[in-house]
C-alpha cells in the first residue's frame, strides 16, 4: 500500500501542480512559475554539487548561456524559440565540455573557485557585448509558441515550465537509477570506487558537469521566453550563490530538494517584503536580514537540508522497494583452469620520497587458491595491495596477470582484466542501498550508455545487473538487507557487502584487505565459509589479514612481510616453522 | 606602457594586494580551525570604516546597535543552554562575555567618543566594536553548526554575509565613506612617489601577518589553536574545546578585519556592500594557498592585486574577466600539484 | 518558525478589499541591492506624495525590486494582477524598466519609468506605447555637457564610467555625440561601484593627456575617480553626471571636487534659478517637502523624478476620471491617453509636454549646468 502510494507520489504531485493555476491568482501563478524555473536550474546543481560533490559557483552562467543563446537566436536571427532551445543545449554542452575538460580535474576548493571565475567572466563578457544588449539588456524576446498558439499569459507559461520541470525531473530520476547514475552517485566519496569497478571517474565527472550545464541552459531558455527580457544581473555571481543556497537548503543530494529549496527561497524572498511591511512600515530594507536568519535557522535544524529532514519526519522508515529477482549473469567470465597462475609479481618496489615502503617483493597466486599476506603494522601490506590493484604506480618490478605482462597498471584496467578488491576501511556509498552498492561492482558489465539510460531503454540490462547484485547478496547472506542504506548496516555487514560488490564485477582474482577486521566470531565463520566456496569455484584470492588464526586456517599459502620486505613465503606449516618469522613477527605477536 | 606607469601600477597592485594578504591569511586561519570559509570577513572591514566615519561626523555608529543586538542574541542562546543545566559558572561567564563586555563597549562608543576626540581613540573604539562582532557571529551562527560539512558551513557563511549586508544598508545607508588617515606628504623611493598611507598599509599588513604568525607559533594559546586545526579530538583531550578555539579565532578575525578597515578606509571609498568583493579577492588568495599554506595564500593575494591593477590599465571593461581567467591556470597547477600525499603508508 | 510561517501565509493571503473607488498607483524602486543609493531616495519620497491626485483618492503600493530584473517583473505582475493598479511609477533602473515593456503593454497599464536611458520610450509605439518616463534622457544631458565643453574649447576628453547600465548608457551617448561636437574621445574606461582602486584606469586616461575627463557614475562612488585624478595631478576640467547630486558625494570627495561641472535638472539649484524659470516654484516646493522628511538629508534629483511623475499623473488622473472609473481597463486607457497629452506640467526637473511621438517631453529648460564651488552647487550662467 505505502509502496504504491510512494510510487504514485510524483504523479499526484504533478496532478496537483497541473490543477494549481485554476485555484490561484495570476500573481501566485507567476511566482510559482519562477520557482519552477529555479527548480530546473537547481536540479542541474543537485546533480553536480549534491550528487557528484563538485561545488559550483558558476551555475547561473550556464543558465545565462542558455538564456542568451536562445534570446540572441530568436531576436537577432528571428529563429523559433524551439531552435533556440536546441541552440542553448548545444552551446551549453560545448561550453561545459570545454570548461569541464580543465575544471573537473581539479579538486575541492580549486574546482569551486574556478567555476566562480568562469561565472564572473560570463557576466562581464555579456555585459560588454553589443549584440547581447550590454548591461541594458536584450528586449523583445518572443514567447514560445506551439503551432499558432503563443504562450504569453501567466497560466500558459506556467504549464510550459511545469512540463519542462516534470521532464527534467523524470529524466534525472531515471538516469540516477541506472548504471550511469550509480557511478555518478559514488563519485561524492571520491574517484576510488568508480575507478576500482572499471569506470573512468574523470569522464563521469565531466558528464555530470555537462549535464548540469545542459539542465541549467534549459532553465535559462525557459527564463528567457517567460521573462522575454534578458540582462546580465540574473546570471551573475549572486544568482549562482542563490542557486547553491536553494540546493543546500532543499537537501543537496536530493532531486526533490531542488524543488523544495527553490520554492522556499523564492517565496520567502517575495513574500517577506509584504510581511515586514506590516511590522516595520513601507520603507523597510531588512528583508535580507530576515531571509538570512531563516536560512541559518533552517541549516542549524536540518543540516542535510529540508527534504531529508522532512522525509525522515514523515516516513521514518525507509520506503519499501519492490524486490528484485535474483539472476545469474548470462555471460560470465571464463574462469582459468584450476591451479593456473593468475597473478605473479617479481621484485616489486615502491618508494615514497626516501622511504622504501615495499622492497623487492615477489610472489604469485593461482586460481582456486587463497594466498594470505601477513605482517605487522607498517610492513607494507596495504602499499603492496595498492601496487597490485593499480591504485598506486610501482617504482620498480614486474607484474603479470594471467600470463600477460602488465606494463602500466590502473585500477580501472585491472578491473576490466578480472581483478576486484575490497578496502581496509569499507568504501561504500553510504546513502545508496546495499543492492545498489553491489550493482556498482557490475558497472563494467553493462553496455547501456547515457541515451539508453535516460530513455529507459535499459530495462533488460538493469534487470540483469540488479538481479545479479541480488544474487550475490543472497550468496553472502545479506539478501534481507538489500534495500537498507549501506550506511545503516553494521560494520561487519559493510565488510561482507564490499565482498559482494567485488564479486559483482565477476573477477578471477579477488583482493581482500583485512575483511575480518571488526567481525564477530560467528561472522568470521560465515566469511570463512564464503571464501572457501569461492575458492572451490576456482577464484584466486589474496587475503591481507591481521587475524592469524583466520589466515592460517584458510590460506593455502602465506607470505609474511616486515619492513616492506618479504621474509617468508610458503605453506602455512612451513611459514609457521620459519625461524625468521618466529623472530620477526610471531615472536612479537606472541 | 612606460616603465614608470608600470611601476606605479605595481605599487598600486601591491598595496591592494597587501590588504588581500591579510584577508587571505585570516581566511586560511579560520578555515583551518573551524572549516568555515568566512565570507563576511570583508563586510567587517567595510563596517570598521563606516563606524570610524560615523565617529568622525559626530554620530553614534550603527555598529553599536548591531553589537548590542548580536550580544543579546548570543547571551540568550548561551543562557538557554546554561540555565537548565544550572551551570553557574557558565551563566556568569555568558553574562560577562555577552552582556557586560559588549555593554561596556557600547557605553563607551555612545558617550565617550565626542566628535573632537583624537583620531587614535576613535580608531580604538571602532576596532573594539568590530572585533567583538567576530565571536558573536561564531556563537550565533557557527557554533551550533560545528561538525557540519564545509559546504553547509559555507552556505551559512554566505547567509551571514547577506544578513550583515542588509543590516549594513539599514544602519549606514547606501552611500560610501572615506575616513581620515594619517596624513603626510608623499615621499619618493627609487623615483616612485609613495603616499604615506600606502606605505602605512603595506607596513601594517606585514606587521599584522607577522604578528599572527608569532601568535600562532610562539604563544601557548596560539599553538593550542593550531592543534585544534590538526586534530580536534586530540585538542579536546588536552582541554581546548572547539568552542574556545572557534571564539578565539573569530575574535582574531574581527580584529584583523578592523585593522584592515582602518588601513584602507582613507585610501578609497567604502560602502556597506564593499565587503563582498574584498572578501572574494582574499578568498582567491586563500584558495591558491590550498586553504592551508600561508605563504602561498599571501602570494596568491598579491598576484590578484597586481593583475587587477594592470588589467585595469589594459582593458578596464574586461578587468575581472582577465583577473579571473588568469587565476584558472594557477588553480589548475595548484590542484594538480597538491594531490594529497598518498595515504599508502600503513 | 511556526509563527513566521503563519505570518507568511497571512501576508500572502492579505488582499485588502477596496473600500471605495480610489486610484491605485504601484511604485517600484530599487531600495536595496547595487542601486540602493538611487532607490532609497525615491522610496522615502513616497511618504510625501499627495494623498489625492486629480481630485481622486490615491493609494500608493510601494515595492522594492532589490535592483533585480526578475523581481521587478514579479513585482509588476503582483501590482497588476493582485492589486489591480491603474498605473506604475518606476522602476528606478534602465534594465528593470526595459524588462517591464511586455508586462505593462500586455496588461495595458501605463507606466512612468524613473530611469535614464532613452531606449525605454523610443520609439513610443507597440510595446512602448504604454511607457513614459520623467528623467532627462542620457543624450539630452550629454548634449549639455558637450556644449559646455565646446564653450571651454575642450578638444579631447577621457571617459570613465560604471561597468553597468548607468555607465554604459552615458558612455555610449557621449562617445556618439562627442564626434559631432568636434571633441575627440581619447580614452574610455570602466570601473565598478565598489572598486577600491581606479588607479589603472586613471593612468590610462592621464597618459593620453585629455583636456577634460567625464565621469559617468552615480552617488558617492563617483568620487573615487576624481580623487585619484587629483592625486595624479590632473589639471584639466572634470565633468560628472547628475547622478552625483547629493551631499554624501560632496562629503566623500571633499576638496578634490572643487570646480567640477555637473549637468543636472534645475531642482539641484532651485534657489539660484531666475524667478521666471518655470521649474523654480515646483523645485522649491519639492525641496521643502523632501528635506523635511526625517533623515532624508539634502535633495536628490532621483527623488525629484518621482515627484515629476506624480505631477504628471495629477493632471492625467483628473482627465481620465471623467471618462471612466478607476480600476477598469477603460480608466487605464484614458489615463494613458491623458499622460500622452500632458501639456505644460512644470516639475522640479523641467516642463513636460508629451505627445504620441515623445513620451518624455522635456525641452531645454530641463537641464542646467552647475559647478561645485565651496562645497556646494552653483548654477553656471
Average pLDDT of the segment spanning C16-28: 74
Q: What is the DSSP letter of A47?
A: I
Separation between Cα atoms, residue C88 and residue B161, nearest integer Å: 33
pLDDT of amino acid C364: 87
Residue B201 predicted with pLDDT over 70: yes
pLDDT higher than threshold 70 for residue A30: yes
Q: What is the pLDDT of residue C19?
A: 44
Name the closest residue on chain C to residue B167, using Cα atoms.
Answer: C32
Rounded Cα distance between C27 and C58, Å, is: 12
Is residue C345 within 8 A of residue C355, CB to CB? The reply is no
Ranking A55-59, B337-341, C167-171 by mean pLDDT, the lowest is: B337-341
The domain segmentation of chain A, as residue ranges, is: 24-235, 340-418+507-590, 430-505
Residue C17 confidence (pLDDT): 43
Per-residue pLDDT tens over the stretch B27-65 = 988 998 888 999 999 999 999 999 999 999 999 999 999
B48 at the C interface (CB within 8 A)?
A: no
Which of C40, C163, C197 is the closest to B268 by Cβ?
Answer: C197
Q: What is the dihedral of CA A185, A187, A188, A190, to 10 degrees?
A: 150
Q: Whole-prediction pTM value?
A: 0.91
- How many angstroms from the chain centroid is the CA of residue A396? 34
Residue of higher predicted confidence among B235 and A452: A452
> What kind and span of H or E run contains A562?
strand A557-562
Task: Give residue-wise pLDDT tens across range A274-318.
Answer: 888 888 877 778 889 999 999 999 999 988 888 888 888 876 555
pLDDT of residue A308: 87
Q: Which residue has the higher pLDDT, A445 or A47?
A: A47
Q: Which of B5, B175, B178 sits opposite C37 (nearest CB)?
A: B175
Distance CA B250, CA B259 (A): 14
* DSSP reduced 3-state for C309: helix
The pLDDT value given to residue C272:
94
Residue B304 has pLDDT above 80, yes or no: yes
* Rounded mean pLDDT, A26-37: 92
pLDDT of residue B185: 66
Q: In B, which residues are within 8 Å of C191 by CB distance? A: 312, 316
Mean pLDDT throughout A340-352? 89
The pLDDT of A310-339, averaged and rounded, is: 75
Q: Are C37 and C219 in contact (CB under 8 A)?
A: yes
**Residue C372: strand pairing partners:** C377
Measured in angstroms, the CA of B49 and the nearest CA of chain A are apart by 21
CA nearest neighbour of C220 among C250, C265, C264: C250
Q: Same topology for domains C22-136+286-365 and C138-264, yes or no?
A: yes
Q: Is residue B263 within 8 Å of B19, Cβ to Cβ?
A: yes
Task: Measure the CA–CA gap between A156 and A263, rounded to whole angstroms.
Answer: 20
A233 Cβ neighbours under 8 A, 6+ residues apart = A239, C67, C68, C69, C95
Q: What is the pLDDT of residue B233?
A: 67
Task: Give the separation between CA C110 and CA A290, rounded to whole angstroms.
Answer: 33
Distance of CA C268 to the CA centre of its chain: 13
B114/B147 Cα distance (integer angstroms): 45
pLDDT level of residue A590 (50, 70, 90 thresholds): very low
Residue A206's alpha-carbon distances to A121, A424, B325, in angstroms, are 21, 29, 20
At C312, is the pLDDT very low, low, confident or very high (cuts 50, 70, 90)?
A: very high
Whether C286 has its CB under 8 Å from any CB of chain B: the answer is no
Q: CB distance from B277 to chain C under 8 Å? A: yes
How many CB atoms sit inside 10 A of residue A332's CB?
Answer: 10
A228 contacts in chain C (CB < 8 Å): 102
E strands, chain B, are 187-189, 192-194
Which residues make beta-bridge pairs with C159? C188, C214
Nearest to C298 by CA among C218, C377, C372: C377
Q: Is the pLDDT of residue C16 over 50?
A: no
Q: Which CATH superfamily is domain C22-136+286-365 in?
A: Response regulator (3.40.50.2300)
Taking the C-alpha atoms of residue C290 and residue C267, their distance in angstroms, rounded to an integer, is 12
In the DSSP assignment, the letter for residue A485 is B
In chain A, % of residues over pLDDT 70: 97
Between CA A51 and CA A523 the distance in angstroms is 33
pLDDT at C11 over 60: no
Contact list, B271 vs chain C (CB under 8 Å): 193-194, 220-221
Residue scoring higher pLDDT (A273 or A201): A201
Chain A residues touching C94 at Cβ < 8 A: 136
Q: Give the containing element (helix H, strand E) for C358.
A: none
pLDDT for the residue B322: 92
More confident residue, A515 or C1: A515
pLDDT recorded at residue B229? 67
Residue C200 has pLDDT above 60, yes or no: yes
Quote the CA–CA distance of B270 and B291 in Å, as a whole number. Answer: 27
Evaluate if residue A548 carries a pLDDT over 80.
yes
With H, G, I as helix, E, B as strand and everything else as coil, classify residue A199.
Answer: coil
Mean pLDDT calculated for residue range C171-188: 93
- At A125, the pLDDT band (50, 70, 90 cuts) reads very high
Q: Which of A312-316, A363-367, A521-525, A576-580 has the lowest mean pLDDT?
A: A312-316
β-strand A509-513 against A419-421: which pairing, if any? Answer: parallel
What mean pLDDT value characterizes chain C? 90
CA distance A500 to A68: 49
Domain boundaries, chain C: 22-136+286-365, 138-264
Minimum CA–CA partner of C219 in chain B: B175
* A424 pLDDT more than 90: no
- Asked whether the beta carbons of C28 and C115 are under 8 A apart, the reply is no
Contact by Cβ (8 Å): A91, A67: no
Give the 3-state secondary structure of residue B57. Answer: coil
Length of chain A, please? Answer: 590
From B131's Cα to the closest Cα of chain A, the distance in A is 21
Closest CA to C156 of C198, C200, C214: C214
**Chain A environment of B167 (Cβ under 8 Å):** 286, 289
% residues pLDDT > 90 (chain A): 44
Alpha-carbon gap, residue C375 to C258, rounded angstroms: 7
Candidates A136, A269, A275; nearest CB to C119: A136
Please, which chains are in contact with C (at least 3 CB pairs closer than 8 A)? A, B
Q: Among A195-204, A281-290, A364-373, B107-116, which is the least confidently predicted range? A: A281-290
DSSP type of residue A590: -
Architecture of domain A340-418+507-590: 3-Layer(aba) Sandwich (3.40)
Q: Do A233 and C95 touch (CB under 8 A)?
A: yes
C215: left (phi over 0), alpha (psi -120 to 50) or beta: beta
Query: Is the CATH number 3.40.50.2300 carried by domain C138-264?
Result: yes
Q: How many residues does this entry show for chain C?
A: 381
**Residue B284 and residue B289: Cα distance in Å, rounded?**
9
Q: Tell me how far apart the alpha carbons of residues A390 and C39 are, in angstroms, rounded to a whole number.
A: 62
pLDDT of residue C99: 94
Q: What count of residues does chain B have?
A: 346
Over residues A112-138, mean pLDDT: 91
Note the pLDDT of residue A526.
Answer: 87
Average pLDDT, chain A: 88
Q: What is the per-residue pLDDT for C20?
A: 55
Cβ pair A121:B342 closer than 8 A: no
Mean pLDDT along residues A460-489: 89
Contacts of A380 in chain B (CB under 8 A): 346
Task: Report the distance separating Cα A247 and Cα A258, nearest Å.
Answer: 5
Q: Under 8 Å CB-to-CB from C365, ≥6 apart: which residues?
A: C266, C277, C278, C279, C350, C351
pLDDT, position B164: 96
* Contact: A350, B344; criterion CB under 8 Å: yes
Question: pLDDT band at C13, cuts 50/70/90?
Answer: very low
Q: Report the pLDDT value the prediction gives residue A587, as an integer from 0 to 100.
A: 57
Strands C376-379 and C368-373: what pairing?
A: antiparallel
pLDDT top residue among B178 and A60: A60
Which of the four pLDDT bands, split at 50, 70 and 90, describes residue A561?
A: confident
pLDDT in tens, A131-186: 998 898 999 899 999 988 889 888 899 999 999 999 999 999 999 989 999 999 99
Query: What's A138's DSSP letter?
Result: B
Of A185-194, A306-315, A474-483, C275-284, minimum mean pLDDT range: A306-315
The answer to whether residue A358 scores a pLDDT higher than 80 is: yes
pLDDT at residue B70 tops 90: yes
C171–chain A nearest CA distance, Å: 12
How large a percentage of chain B has pLDDT more than 70?
91
Q: How confident is the model at residue C24 (pLDDT cuts 50, 70, 90)?
A: very high
pLDDT of res. A585: 62
ipTM of the modeled complex: 0.90
**Gap from A488 CA to chain B (nearest CA, Å):** 19
Q: List alpha helices for A315-397, DSSP H.
A: 381-389
Q: Give C208's pLDDT tier (boundaries 50, 70, 90).
A: very high
**Which tops the pLDDT comparison, C187 or A107?**
C187
Q: 3-state DSSP call for residue B174?
A: coil
pLDDT at B235: 67
Q: Looking at beta carbons, which residues of chain B come within 8 Å of C207?
A: 2, 5
Nearest CA among A534, A504, A539, A505 for reference residue A337: A539
Confidence of residue B186 (pLDDT cuts 50, 70, 90): low
Which comes out higher in pLDDT, residue B336 or C365?
C365
Amino acid at each position: 500500500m505505502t509502496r504504491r502510494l510512494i510510487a504514485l507520489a510524483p504523479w499526484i504531485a504533478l496532478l496537483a501542480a497541473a490543477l494549481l493555476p485554476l485555484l490561484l491568482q495570476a500573481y501566485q501563478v507567476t511566482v510559482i512559475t519562477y520557482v519552477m524555473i529555479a527548480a530546473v536550474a537547481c536540479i542541474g546543481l543537485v546533480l553536480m554539487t549534491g550528487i557528484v560533490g563538485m561545488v559550483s559557483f558558476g551555475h547561473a552562467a550556464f543558465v545565462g548561456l542558455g538564456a542568451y543563446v536562445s534570446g540572441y537566436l530568436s531576436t537577432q536571427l528571428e529563429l523559433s524559440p524551439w531552435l533556440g532551445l536546441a541552440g542553448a543545449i548545444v552551446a551549453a554542452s560545448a561550453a561545459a565540455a570545454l570548461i569541464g575538460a580543465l575544471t573537473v580535474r581539479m579538486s575541492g576548493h580549486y574546482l569551486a573557485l574556478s567555476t566562480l571565475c568562469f561565472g564572473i567572466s560570463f557576466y562581464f563578457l555579456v555585459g560588454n557585448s553589443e549584440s547581447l544588449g550590454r548591461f541594458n539588456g536584450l528586449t523583445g524576446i518572443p514567447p514560445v509558441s506551439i503551432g499558432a498558439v503563443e504562450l504569453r499569459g501567466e497560466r500558459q507559461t506556467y504549464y510550459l515550465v511545469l512540463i519542462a520541470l516534470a521532464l527534467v525531473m523524470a529524466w534525472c530520476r531515471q538516469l540516477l537509477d541506472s548504471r550511469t547514475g550509480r557511478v555518478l552517485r559514488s563519485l561524492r566519496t571520491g574517484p576510488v570506487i568508480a575507478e576500482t569497478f572499471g569506470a573512468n571517474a574523470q569522464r563521469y565527472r565531466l558528464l555530470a558537469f555537462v549535464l548540469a550545464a545542459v539542465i541549467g541552459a534549459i532553465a535559462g531558455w525557459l527564463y528567457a521566453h517567460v521573462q522575454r527580457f534578458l540582462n546580465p544581473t540574473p546570471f551573475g555571481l549572486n544568482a549562482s550563490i542563490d542557486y547553491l543556497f536553494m540546493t543546500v537548503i532543499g537537501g543537496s543530494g536530493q532531486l526533490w530538494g531542488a524543488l523544495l529549496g527553490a520554492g522556499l527561497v523564492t517565496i520567502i524572498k517575495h513574500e517577506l517584503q509584504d510581511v515586514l511591511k506590516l511590522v516595520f512600515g513601507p520603507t523597510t530594507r531588512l528583508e535580507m536580514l530576515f531571509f538570512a536568519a531563516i536560512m541559518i535557522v533552517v541549516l542549524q535544524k536540518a543540516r542535510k537540508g529540508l527534504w531529508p529532514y522532512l522525509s525522515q519526519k514523515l516516513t521514518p522508515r525507509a520506503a519499501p522497494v519492490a524486490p528484485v529477482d535474483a539472476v545469474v549473469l548470462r555471460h560470465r567470465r571464463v574462469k582459468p583452469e584450476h591451479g593456473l597462475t593468475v597473478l605473479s609479481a617479481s621484485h616489486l618496489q615502491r618508494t615514497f620520497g626516501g622511504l622504501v615502503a615495499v622492497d623487492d617483493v615477489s610472489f604469485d597466486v593461482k586460481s582456486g587458491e587463497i594466498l594470505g599476506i601477513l605482517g605487522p603494522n607498517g610492513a607494507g601490506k596495504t602499499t603492496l595491495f595498492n601496487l597490485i590493484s593499480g591504485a598506486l604506480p610501482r617504482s620498480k618490478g614486474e607484474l603479470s596477470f594471467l600470463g600477460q605482462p602488465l606494463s602500466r597498471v590502473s585500477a580501472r584496467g585491472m578491473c576490466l582484466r578480472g581483478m576486484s578488491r575490497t578496502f581496509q576501511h569499507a568504501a561504500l556509498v553510504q546513502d545508496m542501498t546495499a543492492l545498489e552498492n553491489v550493482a556498482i561492482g557490475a558497472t563494467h558489465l553493462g553496455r547501456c550508455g547515457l541515451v539508453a539510460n535516460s530513455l529507459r531503454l535499459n530495462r533488460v540490462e538493469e534487470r540483469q545487473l540488479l538481479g545479479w547484485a541480488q544474487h550475490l547478496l543472497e550468496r553472502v547472506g545479506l539478501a534481507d538487507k538489500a534495500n537498507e542504506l549501506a550506511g545503516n548496516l553494521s560494520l561487519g555487514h559493510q565488510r561482507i557487502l564490499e565482498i559482494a560488490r567485488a564479486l559483482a564485477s565477476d573477477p578471477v582474482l579477488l583482493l581482500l584487505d583485512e575483511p575480518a577486521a571488526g567481525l564477530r566470531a560467528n561472522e568470521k565463520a560465515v566469511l570463512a565459509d564464503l571464501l572457501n566456496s569461492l575458492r572451490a569455484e576456482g577464484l584466486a584470492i589474496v587475503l591481507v589479514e591481521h587475524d592469524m588464526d583466520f589466515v592460517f586456517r584458510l590460506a593455502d599459502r602465506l607470505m609474511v612481510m616486515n619492513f616492506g620486505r618479504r621474509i617468508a613465503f610458503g605453506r602455512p606449516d612451513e611459514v609457521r616453522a620459519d625461524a625468521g618469522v618466529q623472530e620477526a613477527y610471531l615472536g612479537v605477536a606472541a | 606602457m612606460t616603465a614608470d606607469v608600470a611601476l606605479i601600477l605595481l605599487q598600486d597592485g601591491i598595496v591592494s594586494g597587501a590588504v588581500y594578504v591579510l584577508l587571505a591569511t585570516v581566511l586560511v586561519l579560520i578555515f583551518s580551525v573551524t572549516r568555515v570559509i568566512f565570507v563576511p570577513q570583508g563586510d567587517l572591514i567595510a563596517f570598521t570604516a563606516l563606524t570610524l566615519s560615523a565617529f568622525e561626523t559626530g554620530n553614534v555608529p550603527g555598529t553599536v546597535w548591531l553589537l548590542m543586538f548580536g550580544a543579546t542574541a548570543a547571551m540568550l542562546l548561551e543562557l538557554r543552554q546554561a540555565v537548565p543545566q544550572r551551570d553557574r559558572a557558565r551563566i556568569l561567564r555568558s553574562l560577562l562575555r555577552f552582556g557586560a563586555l559588549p555593554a561596556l563597549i557600547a557605553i563607551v562608543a555612545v558617550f565617550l567618543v565626542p566628535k573632537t576626540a583624537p583620531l587614535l581613540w576613535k580608531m580604538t573604539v571602532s576596532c573594539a566594536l568590530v572585533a567583538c562582532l567576530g565571536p558573536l557571529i561564531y556563537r550565533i551562527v557557527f557554533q551550533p553548526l560545528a561538525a557540519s560539512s564545509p559546504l553547509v558551513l559555507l552556505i551559512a557563511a554566505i547567509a551571514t554575509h547577506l544578513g550583515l549586508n542588509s543590516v549594513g544598508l539599514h544602519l549606514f545607508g547606501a552611500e560610501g565613506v572615506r575616513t581620515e588617515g594619517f596624513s603626510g606628504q608623499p615621499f619618493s623611493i627609487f623615483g616612485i612617489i609613495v603616499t604615506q598611507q600606502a606605505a602605512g598599509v603595506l607596513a601594517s599588513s606585514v606587521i599584522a601577518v607577522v604578528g599572527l604568525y608569532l601568535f600562532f607559533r610562539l604563544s601557548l594559546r596560539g599553538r593550542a589553536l593550531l592543534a585544534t586545526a590538526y586534530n580536534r579530538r586530540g585538542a579536546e583531550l588536552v582541554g581546548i574545546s572547539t568552542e574556545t578555539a572557534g571564539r578565539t579565532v573569530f575574535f582574531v578575525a574581527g580584529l584583523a578585519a578592523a585593522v584592515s578597515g582602518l588601513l584602507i578606509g582613507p585610501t578609497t571609498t567604502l560602502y556597506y556592500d564593499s565587503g563582498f568583493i574584498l572578501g572574494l579577492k582574499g578568498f582567491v588568495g586563500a584558495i591558491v594557498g590550498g586553504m592551508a599554506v600561508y605563504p602561498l595564500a599571501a602570494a596568491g593575494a598579491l598576484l590578484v592585486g597586481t593583475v587587477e591593477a594592470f588589467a585595469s590599465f589594459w582593458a578596464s571593461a574586461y578587468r575581472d574577466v582577465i583577473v579571473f581567467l588568469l587565476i584558472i591556470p594557477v588553480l589548475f597547477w595548484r590542484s594538480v600539484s597538491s594531490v594529497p600525499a598518498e595515504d599508502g603508508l600503513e | 518558525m511556526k509563527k513566521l510561517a503563519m505570518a507568511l501565509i497571512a501576508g500572502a493571503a492579505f488582499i485588502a478589499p477596496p473600500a471605495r473607488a480610489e486610484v491605485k498607483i504601484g511604485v517600484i524602486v530599487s531600495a536595496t541591492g547595487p542601486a540602493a543609493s538611487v532607490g532609497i531616495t525615491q522610496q522615502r519620497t513616497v511618504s510625501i506624495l499627495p494623498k489625492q491626485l486629480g481630485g481622486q483618492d490615491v493609494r500608493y503600493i510601494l515595492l522594492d525590486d532589490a535592483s533585480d530584473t526578475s523581481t521587478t517583473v514579479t513585482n509588476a505582475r503582483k501590482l497588476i494582477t493582485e492589486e489591480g493598479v491603474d498605473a506604475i511609477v518606476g522602476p528606478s533602473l534602465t534594465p528593470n524598466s526595459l524588462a517591464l515593456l511586455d508586462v505593462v503593454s500586455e496588461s495595458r497599464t501605463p507606466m512612468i519609468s524613473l530611469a535614464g536611458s532613452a531606449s525605454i520610450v523610443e520609439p513610443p509605439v507597440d510595446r512602448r506605447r504604454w511607457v513614459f518616463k520623467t528623467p532627462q534622457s542620457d543624450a539630452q544631458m550629454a548634449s549639455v555637457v558637450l556644449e559646455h565643453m565646446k564653450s571651454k574649447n575642450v578638444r579631447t576628453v577621457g571617459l570613465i564610467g560604471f561597468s553597468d547600465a548607468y555607465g554604459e548608457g552615458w558612455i555610449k551617448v557621449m562617445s556618439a555625440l562627442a564626434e559631432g561636437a568636434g571633441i575627440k574621445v581619447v580614452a574610455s574606461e570602466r570601473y565598478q561601484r565598489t572598486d577600491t582602486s581606479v588607479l589603472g584606469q586613471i593612468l590610462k586616461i592621464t597618459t593620453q593627456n585629455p583636456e577634460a575627463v567625464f565621469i559617468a557614475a552615480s552617488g558617492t562612488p563617483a568620487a573615487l575617480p576624481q580623487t585619484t585624478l587629483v592625486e595624479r595631478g590632473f589639471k584639466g576640467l572634470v565633468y560628472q553626471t547628475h547622478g552625483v547630486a547629493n551631499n554624501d558625494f560632496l562629503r566623500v570627495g571633499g576638496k578634490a571636487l572643487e570646480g567640477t561641472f555637473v549637468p543636472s535638472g534645475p531642482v539641484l539649484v532651485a534657489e539660484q534659478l531666475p524667478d521666471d524659470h518655470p521649474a523654480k516654484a515646483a523645485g522649491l516646493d519639492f525641496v521643502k517637502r523632501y528635506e523635511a522628511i526625517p533623515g532624508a538629508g539634502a535633495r536628490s534629483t532621483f527623488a525629484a523624478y518621482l515627484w515629476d511623475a506624480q505631477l504628471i499623473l495629477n493632471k492625467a488622473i483628473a482627465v481620465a476620471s471623467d471618462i471612466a472609473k478607476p480600476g477598469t481597463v477603460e480608466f487605464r486607457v484614458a489615463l494613458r491617453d491623458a499622460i500622452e497629452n500632458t501639456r505644460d506640467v512644470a516639475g522640479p526637473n523641467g516642463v513636460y509636454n508629451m505627445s504620441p511621438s515623445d513620451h518624455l517631453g522635456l525641452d531645454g529648460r530641463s537641464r542646467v549646468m552647475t559647478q561645485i564651488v565651496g562645497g556646494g552647487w552653483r548654477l553656471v550662467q
